[in-house]
Structure 1
Amino acid sequence: MRLKYVLNEVLVGLWRNVTMTVAMIITMSVSLTMLGASVLLYMQVDQMKNFYYGEIEVSIFLRDDVSEAQRTAVDQAIAGNPLVDSKQYESKEEAFKKFQVIWRDSPDFIKSVTPDSLPESFRVKLKDPEQYATFADQMRGMQGIQDIVDQRELLKKVFDIFNSIQVMALVVAGVMALAALLLVGNTIQVAAYSKRREVAVMKLVGASNWFIQAPFVLEAVAAGLIGSILGFIFLFVSKVVLLDGRLQALTNVLTPIPNGNVWLMLPLLAGVGAAVSAVTAWVTLRFYLRV
């Protein structure tokens, strides 16, 4: 009987303040969507780092006037270095073929370049990419070497951009979460005020604090759960429609987002939405509703 009464009061409370309830659900869904997007972004950047850093190579470009003896000496130095996992020699012709593939959509640019314009090189994969500086110091200064380039430095600039996007997403999610907290607290205050006489009567007949507060707390939890479900639906639809649809070409650069990661957001958002709503409602009642 008590449970039926509490659930009935929750439904009545949600309907009684329907406009504020809808506003609370929308604000909660937006903030939770931003939170879910930022968490997915964090997970994706970490996945991309593991993928791309595992494929990182050190490019050792040779001079145009490198002699056969110098090329052989560089080759032997690389092969005998304990930091090296694998190596591959790339001639001018091979570099030009790769160049043609990369710039196949710009035929005029391809015509302006000849195989002799591109340097021959060694593509070296290290056992530990973090040891680049040590490896470069060991190779630098050898005759025939023009430049040593670490691909990690190029990727670092890209990941710095993603890290900035992560921070921005978290900031927006934090602002929206604050707005949601204030709205939840305000909605609970209005609901408690509209039922102040009922609360006074229940207190007089000996109702417990939990019994009086439960409908208000569950009302906030229900709104939080609905907002979390809407936020998850928006995330999932955005992933399917955009990343798996119109923006699918981005997966050539960005590693694809697994559906499993998106599904993980459902319990995360539901837990955060319910917990935040419950705590906010309880704290509001402690200060506003003297029971």
Structure 2
Amino acid sequence: MRLRFLLGDVWVGLRRNLSMAISVILVTMVSLYLLGLGLLAQRQADAMKGYWYDRVQVSIFLCSKVSLQDNCTSPVTEDQKETIRAQLDDMKPLVKQVFFESEQEAYDRFSEQFKNTPLVGNIKVGDIPSSYRVQLSDPTRFEVVGSAFENAPGVATVQDQQKVLKKFFTVINFVTLFAVIVAALMVLCATLLMATTIRQAAFSRRREIGIMRLVGASNFAIRTPFILEVLIAAVIGAALAIGMLWTTVHFIFNRYLNTIVKNQALISATDVLAVAPYLLGGVILLAVLTSTVTLWRYLRI
């Protein structure tokens, strides 16, 4: 009977403050949606880091006819190539695999990658030097290879792909941080709106609260309906946000990107399910704390 009375009181409160409840739902939904996007962006960055760092290569570009480096007074010779290859073989197990790419193969790869751009017409065989593509068992130990072959006979430059990837992931991390900051501001707005909703609801029912105090109702019995009203609105907003996140990831990644991008590590709808408990648990904790503090500090029921 007490539960039925409590739920009835909550329902009446939601109906009386329907516009404020809808506002809490919408602000919570937008806040958690933005926060969820930030969390998913970070998961995508982590997935891509794991994928690419396992495949990162050190490129040892050899001297060619068009090389401008001071170390390249003439094109690399066969003896120099064999010396470089022998040094790489001696660096196992740090050196996991070694691939030699000729000038023709480098041109063919470039032509395939940029076939839809005008760059292809400006490049000819020989403009891209031959190279050794070295895959390391531990990509963080690039300096071992770099110091061994920098300015070596026949070597033009030594390039670490990890440095390029770090810049790319730095940009992703900044975008993620920006999304989280915006989401935090929206969460702050939701918190303030929850507090305002409780204060308005308590003010509109001050007569009922006075009667309940007269008949000996406890503070817990008086405060619980207000807390449940905000909690219900917040949970509905969280559920809508999770649904929007799942729809976004499902259609953009599962139904589209995963069908056209075959060699990338992409998040999926299951990642939404992984972050959903944190979003839902966070909004429940936020709603309860905001309601409790507001009722205790401002209303003094």
Does TM, scored on the shorter chain, surpass 0.5?
yes
Counterpart position of 2:120? 110
The code of the aligned residue for 1:288 comes to: Y
The code of the aligned residue for 1:200 comes to: G
User: Are 2:88 and 1:88 equivalent residues in the alignment?
Assistant: no
- CA 1:205/1:276 → structure 2, altered by over 3 Å: closer, same or farther? same
The code of the aligned residue for 1:101 comes to: E
Partner of residue 199 from structure 2, selected from 183, 189, 196: 189
Alignment of 1:43-122 (within 5 A): 43-64=43-64, 65-82=75-92, 83-106=94-117, 108-122=118-132
- CA 1:253/1:16 → structure 2, altered by over 3 Å: closer, same or farther? farther
What per-residue deviation string (whole Å, max 9, x for no partner) do you get for residues 168-216 of structure 1?
Answer: 0111011101100000000000111111121122122221211111100
CA contact (8 A) 1:225 1:270 kept: yes
Counterpart position of 2:299? 289
Question: 1:254, 1:269 → 2: CA distance?
Answer: 27
CA contact (8 A) 2:62 2:154 kept: yes
Counterpart position of 2:245? 235
Counterpart position of 1:18? 18
Q: CA deviation at 1:96?
A: 1.5
User: Are 2:285 and 1:275 equivalent residues in the alignment?
Assistant: yes
Question: 1:27, 1:132 → 2: CA distance?
Answer: 48
Q: CA deviation at 1:67?
A: 0.6
What per-residue deviation string (whole Å, max 9, x for no partner) do you get for residues 255-284 of structure 1?
Answer: 321221112233222211221111101110
Q: CA deviation at 1:112?
A: 3.1
User: Are 2:207 and 1:204 equivalent residues in the alignment?
Assistant: no
Q: Secondary structure at the match of 1:152?
A: helix
Alignment of 1:103-182 (within 5 A): 103-106=114-117, 108-182=118-192
Question: 2:215, 2:124 → 1: CA distance?
Answer: 94
Counterpart position of 2:72? none
Alignment of 1:34-49 (within 5 A): 34-49=34-49
What per-residue deviation string (whole Å, max 9, x for no partner) do you get for residues 85-113 of structure 1?
Answer: 1111111121122112111213x532432
What per-residue deviation string (whole Å, max 9, x for no partner) do you get for residues 234-273 of structure 1?
Answer: 1122223333456668846863212211122332222112
Q: CA deviation at 1:32?
A: 0.7
Alignment of 1:28-39 (within 5 A): 28-39=28-39
Which ranges in structure 1 are unaligned for 5 or more consecutive residues? none
The code of the aligned residue for 1:23 comes to: S
User: Are 2:212 and 1:221 equivalent residues in the alignment?
Assistant: no
Question: 1:177, 1:69 → 2: CA distance?
Answer: 65
CA contact (8 A) 1:34 1:173 kept: yes
Q: CA deviation at 1:141?
A: 2.7
Deviates more, 1:74-83 or 1:213-222: 74-83
Deviates more, 1:258-267 or 1:247-256: 247-256
CA contact (8 A) 2:146 2:158 kept: yes
- CA 1:277/1:254 → structure 2, altered by over 3 Å: closer, same or farther? farther
Question: 2:274, 2:115 → 1: CA distance?
Answer: 40
CA contact (8 A) 2:48 2:266 kept: no
Question: 1:253, 1:193 → 2: CA distance?
Answer: 59
CA contact (8 A) 1:221 1:275 kept: no
Q: Secondary structure at the match of 1:263?
A: helix
Question: 1:234, 1:39 → 2: CA distance?
Answer: 14
CA contact (8 A) 2:47 2:267 kept: no
The code of the aligned residue for 2:281 comes to: G
Question: 1:131, 1:35 → 2: CA distance?
Answer: 35
Matched residues, number? 290
